[in-house]
Structures are given as C-alpha cells and as structure tokens.
Amino acid sequence: MADYSSLDIRQRSASTGTPPDIRRQQEVAKLIDVSKCIGCKACQSACEEWNDLRDDVGINVGVYDNPHDLTAKSWTLMRFTEYENAETNNLEWLIRKDGCMHCTDPGCLKACPSPGAIVQYSNGIVDFVEDHCIGCGYCVKGCPFNIPRISKTDNKAYKCTLCSDRVAVGQAPACAKACPTGSIMFGTKEAMIEQANDRVVDLKSRGFDKAGLYDPAGVGGTHVMYVLHHADKPQLYAGLPNDPKISPLVAFWKGGAKVMGLATMGFAALAGFFHYVTAGPNEVEAEEEEEAIDMKARGARRSADEIRPS
C-alpha cells in the first residue's frame, strides 16, 4: 500500500527516487471555522468510531478537555480556552479542534528515516503507513504542531489520516461529515479558502476586526485550516503556533536544499494543474455529470447547500 506504484503519491519519507508526475489531483482541505464551533466533540466521537479507535476512559482533571491530550488512539480533540477579551470586556470561549494539519511541507515526513512510513498524496493528505513505521519518534520531533503519538502497544506512530479511505471514494472525512454546525468543512483547498473569506467578512461585521484564515506559510500552507476570530493571535487558541516552521535541525538532517527544490517544483506544477483538473480528462460517467450540473443549479440556493459541504 501507498508506494510509488500509486500515481497519487507526491512525497514519500526517506526515499530518493523522484515520484512520477503524470497524475496530480486537486488539493483538498478541511476548513475548521472556530467561530461556528460549539465544542460538542462530535468530531472526536466520529473519529473514534470510524477509525475503530477506543481510547482509555480517563478522569476529569478540572476542565472539559477529554481526553486531555492527543494519543495513539485519540487523533483529534477539542481544546477549550476561556479568554477574557480586555478590549470588549466579553468572555470568549475559544474552542479549537486539534489534530494533524496535513502540511504542504510536512515536518514529520521530512524527519522520518523509514522508507515509505509517511507519504503525502498529491491531494495534500499526509498519511502514516504503519506497516513501514519503526517507532523511532522522529516524526513527533519533526512536527511543528506536536501531533503524532507513538502507541505504547505496538510502538508505531499514529495521527489523523484525514480519512484517506473515505476521501478515496469521494466521502468527506468522518469528522466533517458529523459536525453538527458545519464548523468543519471539506472540499478543494481553493473552495475552502473562498468559504473562509466569506466567513471572515461576516465575523468582521460582528466586531471581530482581526478575523482571518490560518493557513501558515511557514509549512507551505496546510490542508487543515482554521477560521479564527483573532487571526492575529493564534496562540490564544490553546497554543496554536503563531508562525509554525519545521525545526531547522530536521530540515538540515534531511538535506534542506533537496526538499525545498521538490516543494518549489510542486508549486510550479500546481499552477498548470488546476486547469487540468477543471477541464480534466477524468472519466466522468454521463450520470455523474448530470448530477454535477444539477448541483451547480442547486448551488444558487446558498442556504440549503452551503450549510453542509457534503
């Protein structure tokens, strides 16, 4: 599974070969609109259920966050922050869904010494391939967001897969499908940025002047993005890094120059690629095409369709 025989792999850990570049897919992204999030943990629940994870039943330590941190069996969790906004005198309960950001330039993949244990698909998903994982923990050190966790039972690294299995058959990730308020959206990265821009306008109209999109350039952008009310202060949201970067140590160890070269090439390829997909030669069956057109017509009915991306 997940080697270069698949034409959809963009990068592969500890591999020197150049991936074939004949089939690039449009990039996907999950957009988490923190301003719509009610912290219900449906995403956590759906993630555990879909991925057959069952973490330990913990204890209460005086906060709503449960489990208290990501684990090999909890790939996402809500982090709750009570913030007293000195400017408005309002209490704000900032609730952020934490989990893998699926960086365009993934520090974990860069750090991983085991060939093929971490792959990045051309749609942007960064996935761990446990069969190849040696449990060294370098991915943990390489991640600027502190996401991967090593399992105590099988000594392998685990994290969110962005439900690559679901995305592969055209389904949204389990968390996005479940999210009751549509706070978690899933689609092309382009569509998600557009969606985020709409949301920012609405938030500004409600007095959040610094509302904005979190898609940090330091890691080449991410495939999990946030709409934040206070985009100028990501740290407010349970320590979301203001300007995440791959540790220079990791970059050095993996040979930064080569990596950067690859990434640049990736971006260049991308520009031409959008046209390819839009007009694309994908085999679309007549019936699907009909339904896609139908959806375009429905697209006009904003309120009905935009509440759910899928």
Q: Which residue has the tokens 């704000």?
A: 92
Q: Is 44 helix (H, G, I), strand (E, B) or coil?
A: helix
Please indicate if the annotation marks 103 as binding a ligand: yes
Kindly write down the DSSP assignment for every residue of 113-181, as one continuous string.
Answer: -STTSEEEETTS-EEE-GGG-----HHHHH-TT---EE-TTT--EE---TTHHHHHTTPPPHHHHH-TT
Least gap, CB of 5 to other proteins (angstroms): 7
Least gap, CB of 271 to other proteins (angstroms): 17
Please indicate if the annotation marks 100 as binding a ligand: yes
Is 164 in contact with 28 (CB distance < 8 Å)?
A: no
Give me the numbers of helices (H) and strands (E) for the chain, helices first please: 10, 11
* Distance set, CA 132 to CA 14, 88, 115 (Å): 11, 51, 7
CB closer to other proteins, 23 vs 258:
23
Least gap, CB of 173 to other proteins (angstroms): 10
Report CA dihedral (261, 263, 264, 267) to the nearest 10 degrees. 160
Least gap, CB of 12 to other proteins (angstroms): 13
Please indicate if the annotation marks 87 as binding a ligand: no
Q: Which residue has the tokens 């967001």?
A: 145
CB closer to other proteins, 57 vs 257:
57
CB closer to other proteins, 193 vs 259:
193
Least gap, CB of 257 to other proteins (angstroms): 30
- Eight-class DSSP state of 19: P
- Whether the ω angle into residue 106 lies within 30 degrees of 0, i.e. cis, is no
Q: Which residue has the tokens 């408005």?
A: 88
Please indicate if the annotation marks 43 as binding a ligand: yes
CB closer to other proteins, 71 vs 215:
71
CA distance 77 to 198: 26
Please indicate if the annotation marks 179 as binding a ligand: yes
Please indicate if the annotation marks 141 as binding a ligand: no
Structure tokens at 220: 């080449």
Please indicate if the annotation marks 68 as binding a ligand: no
Please indicate if the annotation marks 215 as binding a ligand: no
Least gap, CB of 249 to other proteins (angstroms): 31
* Distance set, CA 213 to CA 34, 72, 233 (Å): 10, 29, 12
CB closer to other proteins, 16 vs 205:
205
Please indicate if the annotation marks 133 as binding a ligand: yes
CB closer to other proteins, 244 vs 309:
309
Least gap, CB of 248 to other proteins (angstroms): 32
Residues 6+ apart with CB under 8 A from 307: 182
CB closer to other proteins, 73 vs 110:
73
Q: Which residues are annotated as a binding site?
A: 37, 40, 43, 47, 100, 103, 108, 112, 133, 136, 139, 143, 160, 163, 175, 179
Q: Which residues are annotated as a binding site for [4Fe-4S] cluster?
A: 37, 40, 43, 47, 100, 103, 108, 112, 133, 136, 139, 143, 160, 163, 175, 179
